Amino acid sequence: MIYAACAATLVACPSNPRETEKSQKRVDLAKDLLAQGQDAAAESEGKKAVAFDARNEEAHQILGKIFIVRANRNVGLIEREGCLEGTVADGLRAEANADMRRADEYLARAVELAPDLGEAWMDRSVIAIYFQDWDKAIEYGQKALAGLAKLQNEALARANLGWAHFQRGDLARAAQELLQATQREQRFCLGNYRLGEVLFQQKEYEDAAERLAPFLDPKTCPIQQLFYLMGNTYLRLNDPQSAAKQLDMCIAMAPRSCVARQCDKALKQLTP
């Protein structure tokens, strides 16, 4: 019970003998359960892993991921399933915020134990992006890329770093990071969408359309904002017919979402 309490409060238990093999087995099980969508069971196994070895950085890392997944689920309910407003939305958002903060506590412990744990730094950059703390997102993104040996997806880390630079208004640095991300993974949907946003803001509409064109399939690139962006890009290129097609597709992907409302508003402006 003492060790379980230590795990729950993120406090190391100096009297707990390290049982590294048992801890790692629990981490592996937690990863499998999370991949199956069983986050509650994954959390239980992650906490057992910490109880077996409070200095197992991967145990803290997987617990961080679990809380990020939970937060994103609530954000999806708010923004994609119904574009919720009022007290229900406020409650879900508060819960998501709390989950993200809890995730960052676990991940901060992970990088304290293993400063070169690139994957944990990348997850912390995701949390910073969520809270729109662009300076921290850039700091954590750079640290993620400094730990490539323990980073699963360099392209995603660069895409997050580029997005943080974009949000800060540094379009040149954003383009640099996003170009590197898409070069490493050419069919990288998220990276190309974000690079399209940069090109659009730079008023390079033809380049933006060319960049986005290969990704206009909701089955392989289910990013609703991409279709909204492509619709606006076609409008800038004086092609209202193509713009309407992309905006229609945007709405069809998730008709109740907040992005669908944006697409519907843009589409109505095209109608005489």
- Sign of the CA dihedral running 229, 234, 235, 237: positive
74 within 8 A of 92, measured Cβ to Cβ:
yes
105 within 8 A of 59, measured Cβ to Cβ:
no
Q: Which of 130, 114, 187, 125 is nearest to 158 (CA)?
A: 125
pTM: 0.90
Burial of 198 (0-12, 13-18, 19+ CB in 10 A): buried
**CA angle (139 as vertex; 135, 145 as ends), nearest 5:** 145
Give the pLDDT confidence of 154-173 residue by residue, as tens digits.
999 999 999 999 999 999 99
Q: How confident is the model at residue 6 (pLDDT cuts 50, 70, 90)?
A: low
- For 235-257, what is the mean pLDDT? 96
Q: How confident is the model at residue 128 (pLDDT cuts 50, 70, 90)?
A: very high
Q: What is the pLDDT of residue 184?
A: 83
- For 244-254, what is the mean pLDDT? 97
What does the mean pLDDT of the chain come to?
93
Give the pLDDT confidence of 90-115 residue by residue, as tens digits.
999 999 999 999 999 999 999 999 99
Instruction: Report domain extents, the chain.
Output: 2-143+213-270
Burial of 81 (0-12, 13-18, 19+ CB in 10 A): exposed
More confident residue, 78 or 6: 78
Measured CA to CA in angstroms, residue 163 lies from 75, 105, 141, 178 at distances of 19, 23, 10, 8
Report the distance separating Cα 4 and Cα 122, nearest Å: 27
CATH classification code of 2-143+213-270: 1.25.40.10
117, two tokens: 């744990």
- Side chain identity at 92, as an amino acid letter? L
pLDDT(198) > 80: yes
Burial of 30 (0-12, 13-18, 19+ CB in 10 A): buried
